[in-house]
Structures are given as structure tokens and as C-alpha cells.
Amino acid sequence: MKQITILFIACLFFTILGCEKEQKEEAEKTNYEGKKILVVHSYHPEVTGVVEKNKGLTSVLENVGVEYKIIYMDTKRNTGEDFKKKSALMAKDTIEDYRPDVVITIDDNAFKYLIMPYFKDSELPVVFAGIDWDASIYGAPYSNTTGMISVSLVLQVIEFIKKYAGGERIAWLGPDSFTAKKETKAFQDILGINMSIHYVTNFKEWQNTFLKLQTETDIIFHSMVWAMKDWDEHEAAKFTLNNIKVPIGTVYKTTMCCSVLGLVKVDSEQGEWAAKTALEIIAGKAPSDIPLTQNKEGEITLNLDLAEKLDIAFDVNILKNAQIYQGSE
């Protein structure tokens, strides 16, 4: 009888705990019912970073009772100033029609062309993610904004690559673009990295510069070469394997075809943080009370073919925790 009583009390205790948990979850859900979030992406849906950020967003926003809508400004495929401004005006119209409680912007252009001219210090709360390196170039943060600054884990990449280099001369190799120039400025001015900078505009220029750097530097940092219109991943992989003489690092998964090691941002982290922060604001927290932050998560990727060509043997612990670049078919 004593055992039955104890068992009954234990069951009752866990039943009460379960009920309290359900009540808490229901209360949290109720808090968001009738509330709306609008997500404004700078680019189009097929961009890898956009896909991953959306995964982070939806993992938080699904099943909490909040209504949300995602729109795309498509300013990566359409780079003209007129298009960006018109796209921002269309997003502004959507905000006015949808009347969200919070707006989330993803990447620079949505903030630069939409929030800065139309919603700076307004009553509309805004959470941004994906602004590269420095939001102060847009005058942010505003009284109605908070966000996660997107930074590359380049210092960690270089520190690791140095173990396999014959010296400390570092060269940056990437496209001649606004984003790339913002990146090199951040590397030099914010992180204090002493490196030579080499901008290229097409695949042939990349090949020529790549060959030149094999004898002029000790470490190459590969940037967004894949963004060039005539980039050919398959040919780049073959060319690198045939000509590599110095270790190459990157922070872009899309550049692993021609890099030995990558420490890649986990883009879903930014979407997840933005969504959670938007919910905090809906629950009553002011954006100005939420400090700006930076992404922290990284994913190691190794190109073993290039490592073998340089006679690099990675530590077993690195191999256990890394993704292995498989190449394109």
C-alpha cells in the first residue's frame, strides 16, 4: 500500500509538472497570437546563405503562434541602384499593408535601402542580421533597432593555416566587388591583418594571380571568387590541384574547391537569433535594450585532395569534427 501511495504521488507530481509545462507553452503561444513578423531578405531565395538563414528563422517561428511573412528584394541578381531603390519601395509598401509588429532584415541592402531611409528611429521595431562587419556605416544602431553583425572567422583560419606555411606573408585573393572591398577593409582596419590585396574580375585573371601568388606569398586567403560571372568550380578545382604550392584558407563553403581549409559561418545561427530576438520584442522588450552581437558558430571543412598535394596531415581530432569537401560532379 505504501509503495502504491508513493507511486501515485510521483505520478501526480509529474502530471502537475506536465500540466504546468503545457500551460507555460500555451501561454507563450497565446502571447504571439495575432502578432506578425515580416522578414525582408536582400537577395533571392536560392542563395545558399538565404536558405540557411531561413532554416534558422523557421525553426524558431514555426508553431509558436506568430504569423510571419518572408519577402525578397533580389538585389544580388539585380545590382543597379534604381532596382535596389524600387525594390525597397515595394518592401515599404508591403510593410504598410502587412503592418508587422517587428521587421527582420537580412544582409546589408535591406537595411541600407529600406530601413535607413524610411524607418530610422521610427516606432517600428527592426532586427537586422547579416550586415557585414560594421553597422555604423548606416548610422546604426537606431533607437528602434538591434541586430547581429556578420563577421568572418578569418583570424582563426589564418592561425590554423600558419602551422603548415613556410612563412607569414598573407595574400587575399577575391573579386573586385563592393562586398569584397568591405571585407578587405575590415580585415585590415578592424582585425589588423597585414596582407596584400589582389582583386580579380574574371576566371582568367584569377588563374594568373593564383599562379603568381604561389611564389610571392606563404598563405593565401580565398574570398568570394565564386561570385564572378564566369567562375567554373570544376575547372577551378582541377587548376588548383595542379598548381597549388602554398596553403589556402577560406571562410566560404563555396570556395572549398580551391582551398585547403575553411571555417565557415553557420548562417542558420543568424536567422535563429533574429527570430528569437523578434519574439522578445513582441513580448515587451525594447530593441534599444538588446545589445548588438556577432555570430560565433563555425563549421570546419577540409579539402583532403589539396592537403595531400601539400603533404599536410590533419590532426585526428580535426578530422573527427570536420566536414570533408567532396567536389562537384
Q: Could you tell me the CA-to-CA distances from 30 to 19, 51, 286 in Å, in that order?
A: 16, 29, 20
> How far is the C-alpha of 138 from the C-alpha of 118, rounded, in Å?
13
Domains in the chain (CATH in brackets) are 32-151+267-294 (3.40.50.2300), 154-265+298-324 (3.40.50.2300)
The tens digit of pLDDT for each residue in 170-216 reads 999 999 988 889 889 989 988 899 999 999 999 999 999 999 999 99
Q: Render pLDDT for 67-116 as a digit per residue (tens, 0 to 9).
A: 999 999 999 889 899 999 999 999 999 999 999 999 999 999 999 999 99
Q: What percent of the chain lies above the pLDDT cut of 90?
A: 68
pLDDT at 328: 53
Q: CA-to-CA distance for 40 and 72, rounded, in angstroms?
A: 6
Contact 258/240 with Cβ under 8 angstroms? yes
Q: What is the pTM of this model?
A: 0.72
Distance of alpha carbon 311 from alpha carbon 144, whole angstroms = 53
